[in-house]
Structure 1
Amino acid sequence: MRLLVAETRLRASGRLIAAADGDVEAFSASFEASVDKGETAGRLLLRTTTAEEERQISLSRTEDGAWLVDRAGASRREEFDGSLTVAVAGAVTFHTLPIRRLGLHRTPGEAELPVVWVNAPDLAVSLVTQSYRTVSIDADGAVIAFTQNGETTELTVDTDGVVVDFPGVAGRV
């Protein structure tokens, strides 16, 4: 994964590889994402590949707050309850966006957010609720409690608010 963090913009690109797990077939995914600092506008391009199929989706948040969802040549405009944030299943990088926007790595706080959720590998798009709460802050970064679907995990972030450890899922090497 490559992450470029600037004062006014965040850009990320990367690849996920997942083994088959229960009902989810093995897949690879690649993504490119960019958002401005306030997350008032942004774009995500995501591709997934399984043994059977390749899929692609593009999500763009317009300056008026709507999301444009483009998949297989069909486009639609969605409000997604005013969500500023997009997240991809299995890609911990996307937790960096709300943590940085809310400054939870610098000042204790908590928030419950509507999030545009993209499932992988099928690229189904839905609206979910995610919660973030600062647990602790120190010279090396912070610990942030993340909750979705009733399950809470403590994420470790560096001083820039970038997720460096998501227990059982991913960690910075």
Structure 2
Amino acid sequence: MTTSRVLTWDVPASGGYETAWVDCGQGALHARGRAVGTTPEPYWITYELETAEDFVTRRLRVTAETAARTRTVELRHDGRGGWSADGEPLPQLTGALDCDLGLSPLTNTMPVLRHALHRAQGEQEFLMAWVSVPGLVVRPSRQTYTHLARLAGGGGRVRYASGSFRSDLEIDADGFVVHYPQLATRLAQR
């Protein structure tokens, strides 16, 4: 069964907001979203994210607009471990399963759902295809997700770590970020 949701986050880390329209079910996710930010400079972002079975990223297309320029990048995963950006191979990402759009709480969802880290004990290390915002530079990022606790309502607390950065995320029962200290807080739907 596929469920559709609209999620909006206040993103103090960017001085802006993000809204995502998400369809999720049967091990796959499709989302389209928009974000606006003022840090490190004023920008608008639009994106479309598609995953395949087991929430493995297939495609992320992002457009960033600043006062100086508009740039688009299309990141693709071939399903066998290979990645490309705008058709150019990215061998440094070989083996990565997920993308991570900078300053976006949505892209924390895929590894959490794949390993049920919001519900079950465990720690997983990942290589991610990280996309900077608003520059849209793609680079590898090593990240660790660790289940810390179950929360009322079926969600959980999950520690995100990359390099020296750490943050304990509150995740809802469906695997989406509710609160990401130092980055974003989801707004209540009206």
Distance 1:65 1:40 in 2: 10
Q: Does 1:34 align with 2:50?
A: yes
Residues 1:60 and 2:76 are matched in the alignment: yes
Q: Whole-Å Cα distance in 1 between the matches of residues 125 and 41 of structure 2? A: 31
Greater RCO, 1 or 2 (C-alpha within 8 Å, sep 6+)? 2
Q: Helix, strand or coil for the counterpart of 1:105?
A: coil
Instruction: Give the C-alpha shift of residue 40 in structure 1.
Output: 4.4
Q: 2:169 aligns with which of 151, 155, 162?
A: 155
CA contact (8 A) 1:133 1:144 kept: yes
Kindly report which structure 2 residues correspond to 1:85-124, keeping only aligned pairs within 5 A, or say none: 85-124=98-137
TM-superposed deviation, 1:45 = 0.5
2:122 aligned partner, one-letter code:
G
Describe the superposition over 1:5-64 as per-residue Cα deviations: whole angstroms up to 9, x where unpaired. 1123101111111113xxx22211111101023244511000000001000000111122
Structure 1, residues 50-96: CA drift from partner, whole Å, max 9, x if none? 001000000111122211210xxxx2122313000100110110001
How far, CA to CA, are the matches of 1:19 and 1:41 in structure 2?
28
Counterpart check, 1:76 vs 2:92? no
Count of aligned positions: 166
Any residues of structure 2 matched to 1:11-26 within 5 Å, and which? 11-20=30-39, 24-26=40-42
CA–CA separation in structure 1 for the residues paired with 2:143 and 2:84: 21
The alignment's C-alpha RMSD in Å is: 1.4
Q: TM-score, normalised by structure 1?
A: 0.90
> Matches of 1:104 and 1:114 in 2, distance apart?
17
Alignment of 1:121-160 (within 5 A): 121-140=134-153, 141-160=155-174
Q: Is 1:48 aligned with 2:64?
A: yes
SS in 1 for 2:54: coil
Given that 1:40 and 1:62 are in contact with CA atoms closer than 8 Å, whether structure 2 keeps it comes out as: no
- 2:94 is paired with a residue whose SS is helix
3-state secondary structure, aligned to 1:99:
helix
Q: Deviations over 1:92-130 (max 9, x none)?
A: 100011011111112111011111100011111100111
* Equivalent of residue 10 in structure 1, options 29, 32, 40: 29
SS in 1 for 2:100: strand
| Cα distance change of structure 1 residues 25 and 138 upon mapping to structure 2, 3 Å threshold | closer
Contact 1:40 1:65 in 2 (8 A): no
Instruction: Report if aligned partners of 1:115, 1:128 keep a CA contact under 8 Å in 2.
Output: yes
CA distance 1:41–1:113, shift in 2 (3 Å): closer
TM-score (norm 2): 0.83
